[in-house]
């Protein structure tokens, strides 16, 4: 009879999300309009220099808000969810047109694959948190167990954060690109900060480029996972004691 350990080692689903900003008017409704009083001005500056500094800050305000929104689930949103299924095929759920439906479909996919591990990079500190917060903002039901304990992995034993597995620490951040290259992969094929712009672009070929970027990220995650996951033994939650932060 196949052990739970062997079963979980075989059933691996690799996943990643890509995010982007909500529209700028919504963001400013939450974060506020530009306020010159918030610009830090040094001492003894000439009026012309002060005016220029304030104008530069004003011009940078909206672009900076849009950039920061990609990491903030209150003013950002999920643009796409990518995953490599049990058969090794890559898929992308488009969340651009209907974010709520895409997240809900992903939650149902997770729930249907209870015999699989879901492996990703920095999923504890980013992907799972972002998805959970977006789900709450959108009024979606969250799968049982999909919540976070600060300082630990989620108490959802089907999640494997490969960054944690590599570093052995919740306090140490490493870029997937760097680790993948160290293990022999060619690395990223683009800039993640550009994903949402390419994904929503009307320029021919841009959306395809964004899709290729996400697919490469998934393949890179799988490459790293396949390198390091076999060195760890995963025990189902029900076989763990309550004192194990796993």
* HSE-CB for 103 with a 13 A CA cutoff: 26
Environment class of 82 (CB within 10 Å of its CB; exposed 0-12, middle 13-18, buried 19+): buried
- Structure pTM? 0.85
- Local confidence band at 98 (pLDDT 50, 70, 90 cut-offs): very high
Mean pLDDT of 204-230: 94
> What is the structure's pLDDT at 114?
82
Chain-wide mean pLDDT for the chain? 86
Mean pLDDT of 138-162: 68
């Amino acid at each position: 009879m196949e052990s739970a350990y062997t079963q979980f080692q075989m059933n691996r689903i690799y996943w990643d999300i890509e995010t982007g900003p909500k529209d700028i008017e919504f963001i400013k409704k939450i974060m506020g309009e530009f306020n010159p009083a918030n610009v830090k001005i040094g001492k003894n500056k000439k009026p012309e220099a002060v005016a220029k500094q304030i104008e530069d800050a004003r011009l940078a305000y909206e672009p900076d808000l849009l950039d920061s929104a990609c990491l903030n689930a209150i003013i950002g949103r999920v643009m796409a969810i990518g995953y490599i299924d049990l058969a090794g095929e890559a898929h992308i759920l488009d969340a651009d047109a209907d974010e709520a439906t895409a997240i809900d479909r992903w939650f149902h996919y997770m729930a249907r694959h209870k015999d699989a591990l879901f492996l990703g990079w920095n999923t504890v500190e980013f992907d799972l948190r972002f998805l959970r917060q977006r789900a709450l903002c959108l009024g979606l039901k969250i799968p049982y167990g999909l919540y976070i304990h600060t300082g630990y992995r989620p108490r959802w034993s089907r999640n494997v954060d490969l960054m944690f597995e590599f570093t052995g620490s919740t306090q140490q951040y490493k870029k997937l690109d760097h680790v993948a290259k160290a293990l022999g992969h060619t690395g990223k094929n683009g800039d993640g900060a550009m994903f949402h712009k390419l994904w929503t672009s009307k320029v021919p070929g841009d959306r395809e480029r964004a899709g290729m970027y996400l697919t490469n990220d998934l393949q890179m995650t799988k490459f790293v996972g396949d390198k390091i996951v076999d060195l760890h033994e995963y025990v189902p939650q029900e076989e763990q004691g309550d004192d194990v932060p796993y």
